[in-house]
Amino acid sequence: MEEVKLLGWWMSPFSRRVELALKLKGVGYEYIEQDLANKSQLLLEYNPVHKKVPVLVHNGKTMAESLVILEYIDETWPNNPILPRNPYEKAMARFWAQFIEEKCNGGLWKIMWCKDEEERGRLVEEASHCFRTLEGELKGNKFFGGDEIGMVDIAANFIGYWLGVVQEVSGMELVTRDKFPVLCKWMDEFVEHSVVKETLPPRDKLHAEFEARLGAPSWKY
């Protein structure tokens, strides 16, 4: 009897990545919502190093770090693969997932919390360059994974959905339809995907939360 549990937070794109992978593969799981302002004993026990979500528990074995968990899920439930089988293509997928994490998401994070106008302008230009590079990787495909969603698309979920809300709330105009038509088309396909749709947090709730938090001086997941 398989037992799969997921410790997550409704707003976290990282825990939503894991939910998306489980749903794409039709894996049943028990979801346990965490209160990150008041961390549970369970979370502290299961992820003592980082004390963060997501944590996946499979038959009592715990693991953390969303991209690591995605690889575990793909290896354990090989139906509907999210990674290519060919080692070179797999290496490319890992490269781009890391690029999204460090350069795109990392860049956005710095912008979101930067209070200095001039510095923010410089960060936006830097991030723009990264998004241009990422856009180039679509290469005429519907998704980064080709015809179907793959690990790179899942890794880009913040860009696919959360970014739109952040831009609305903050007035940031980084990824706009006229500047990034190809990437915005990918974003449309991503949020319309039948399985992705089920895993997205409600937009109005997300909007309200970002509005509240982006005003506050320091906030972390």
Partner 1 sequence: MADVKLLGTWPSPFSYRVILALKLKGIDYEYIEQDLSNKSPLLLQSNPVYKKIPVLIHGGNPISESMTILQYIDESWPETHPLLPADPYGRAVARFWIKFAEEKLSSASMIFRTSGEEQGKAVRETVEVMEILEEHAFGSLKEKGFFGGEKVNMVDLAYGVMGRWFDAIEECSGVKVIDPLKFPLFCGWAERFNEAPVIRDNLPGRKELVDFYKRRREMMLAAAAAASN
Kindly list the residues in this chain that would bind partner 1 in the complex (CB under 8 A).
Answer: 48-49, 58, 61, 63-65, 67-69, 71-72, 75-76, 87-88, 90-92, 94-95, 98-99, 133
Please say which residue, 133 or 141, places its beta carbon nearer to partner 1.
133
Can you tell me which residue has the tokens 């913040």? 158
Closest CB 61 distance from partner 1, rounded Å: 5
b/e string for 73-89 if b means 16 or more Cβ within 10 A?
Answer: bbeebeeebbbbeeeee
DSSP-derived secondary structure letter, 146: B
Please say which residue, 67 or 206, places its beta carbon nearer to partner 1.
67
Closest CB 104 distance from partner 1, rounded Å: 12
Closest CB 62 distance from partner 1, rounded Å: 9
Burial class (CB in 10 A: 0-12, 13-18, 19+), 91: exposed
Closest CB 94 distance from partner 1, rounded Å: 5
Closest CB 209 distance from partner 1, rounded Å: 26
Closest CB 72 distance from partner 1, rounded Å: 4
Burial class (CB in 10 A: 0-12, 13-18, 19+), 21: buried
Please say which residue, 87 or 171, places its beta carbon nearer to partner 1.
87
Please say which residue, 65 or 148, places its beta carbon nearer to partner 1.
65
Please say which residue, 73 or 200, places its beta carbon nearer to partner 1.
73
Cis previous bond, 54, omega within 30: yes
Angle at 153 between CA 198 and CA 214, to 5 degrees: 75
Please say which residue, 133 or 176, places its beta carbon nearer to partner 1.
133
What's the CA gap between 107 and 126, in Å, rounded?
8
Q: Are strands 30-33 and 4-8 parallel, antiparallel or unpaired?
A: parallel
Q: What is the DSSP string of 73-108?
A: HHHHS-SS-SS-SSHHHHHHHHHHHHHIIIIIIHHH
